[in-house]
């Protein structure tokens, strides 16, 4: 089965070839012992050969060739149906580790594919999250800049408001001073006018006192003139009072 080929000699190649030859020989001996034993004997040797094949990296077809070689070596190819069926069961058990390895490999590949899909999904989600994060950072910076600008604007408005308040305070003070000055001026005018009127009345009364003994008609005239002076003084007082209320 394992004929020499014209290849360049390499220690690794020679070592593998020796292992394959050894496995083929072990397979023939194990199958011979199995066929000599009762049918219900265990399949431990077959499983062991299968594990050796897995360790050597062999596939199903390669182990099948070893099995065919063993059938020829044991002369089981000409009509020995019962032994051939037992040999097939032996071969099936020997294949179990290889099949299991393939099953595990397929499962691992499926798991790897699922993992890759999950990783791709997580990568897309992470990319989307990064985009949202960059957008959020940009928006935050924009808001911070706007707040900073607004803060400077409000600071300027506050300064202007304080200046306006100070201006209003000074204007109010000047108005109060002007009103107080106007009141004093009106008060002085009223005082002077009333004093003058009272002096005029006093003069009239003195004149009436002197003329009361001599001329009654003249007395009446003086009294009427004095009354007119009193009425004029009252009107002056009301006029000045109106000015004070308007002020």
Helix (H, G, I), strand (E, B) or coil at 154: helix
Tokens of 65: 């060739």
| 57 close to 19: Cβ distance less than 8 angstroms | no
What is the model's pTM?
0.40
> From CA 57, how far away is CA 97, in angstroms rounded?
11
Q: Tens digit of pLDDT per residue, the chain (247 long)?
A: 444 444 445 666 677 788 888 888 888 888 888 888 877 767 788 888 888 888 888 888 888 888 888 888 888 766 678 888 888 888 898 888 988 888 876 776 676 677 678 767 877 887 888 888 888 888 888 888 887 887 787 788 888 888 888 888 898 888 888 777 777 777 777 777 777 777 777 777 777 666 666 666 777 777 777 778 788 877 877 777 777 666 6
| 240 close to 189: Cβ distance less than 8 angstroms | yes
Q: What pLDDT sits at residue 12?
A: 64
CB atoms within 10 A of CB 139: 10
Q: Name residues whose C-beta falls within 8 Å of residue 16's C-beta, 6 or more positions apart in sequence.
A: 56
Q: What pLDDT sits at residue 233?
A: 78
């Amino acid at each position: 089965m394992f004929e020499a080929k014209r290849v360049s000699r390499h220690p690794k190649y020679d070592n593998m070839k020796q292992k394959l030859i050894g496995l083929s020989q072990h397979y023939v001996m194990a199958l011979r012992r199995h066929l000599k034993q009762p049918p219900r004997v265990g399949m431990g040797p077959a499983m062991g050969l299968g594990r050796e094949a897995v360790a050597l990296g062999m596939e199903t077809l390669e182990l099948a060739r070893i099995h065919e070689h063993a059938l020829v070596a044991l002369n089981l190819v000409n009509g020995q149906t019962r032994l051939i069926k037992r040999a097939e069961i032996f071969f099936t058990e020997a294949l179990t580790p290889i099949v299991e390895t393939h099953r595990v490999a397929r499962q691992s590949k499926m798991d790897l594919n699922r993992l890759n899909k999950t990783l791709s999904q997580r990568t897309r989600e992470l990319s989307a999250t990064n985009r949202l994060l960059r957008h959020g950072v940009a928006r935050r910076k924009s808001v911070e800049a706007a707040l900073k600008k607004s803060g400077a604007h409000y600071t300027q408005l506050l300064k202007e408001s304080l200046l306006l308040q100070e201006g209003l305070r000074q204007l109010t003070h000047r108005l109060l001073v002007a009103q107080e000055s106007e009141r004093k001026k009106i008060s002085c005018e009223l005082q002077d006018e009333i004093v003058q009127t009272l002096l005029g009345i006093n003069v009239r009364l003195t004149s009436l006192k002197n003329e009361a003994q001599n001329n009654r008609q003249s007395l009446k005239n003086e009294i009427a003139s004095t009354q007119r002076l009193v009425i004029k003084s009252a009107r002056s007082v009301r006029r000045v009072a109106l000015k004070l209320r308007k002020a």
